[in-house]
Amino acid sequence: MLVVIDANELFSLLIKGSKSSKEIFLSKSIEFIAPEFLLEEFTNNQEEVLSKTHRTEEEFSELLSIFKDRVKLISEQEIASFIPEACELLPEHTKDKEYLALALKFKCIIWSEEKLLKKQVKIKVLNTKELFDKLNPSNSPD
């Protein structure tokens, strides 16, 4: 299953790291994609992640390595033609237009807690509980 991962899900995973979000992120049945700027956002917020998680710089580097292995980054050029449609689908919430454009291009779901993303009807947006339940229909998350 191909899934667009929202930056907030990644940061939440690093900071809180619930059992269900870790299981989702490490699932072999999911291939994650994200806009290219997510890596820059991740590295730009290194100090915040370190302070909130009490991790060392070495641990952060390990996390960055895992992130690079698990998430395929897609360039802005590849999704540029889908940005207008994304903005049209969510005119009041264009801050997440790249995630929506990416999902439109690859016809896949988005993993996000952002309620405004769910207002559009073209792309399925699943929060952590919904995605966990989809992966594990007989289990419930922590």
Structural domains of the chain in order of their starting residue, each with its CATH number: 2-135 (3.40.50.1010)
In this prediction, residue 91 carries a pLDDT of 87
Identify the residue with better confidence: 137 or 117: 117
Does the reported pTM lie above 0.95? no
Does pLDDT of 16 surpass 80?
A: no
pLDDT category of residue 15 using cuts at 50, 70 and 90: confident
In this prediction, residue 65 carries a pLDDT of 87
Does pLDDT of 27 surpass 80?
A: yes
Cβ proximity of 104 and 123 under 8 Å: yes
Sign of CA dihedral 43, 127, 102, 25: positive
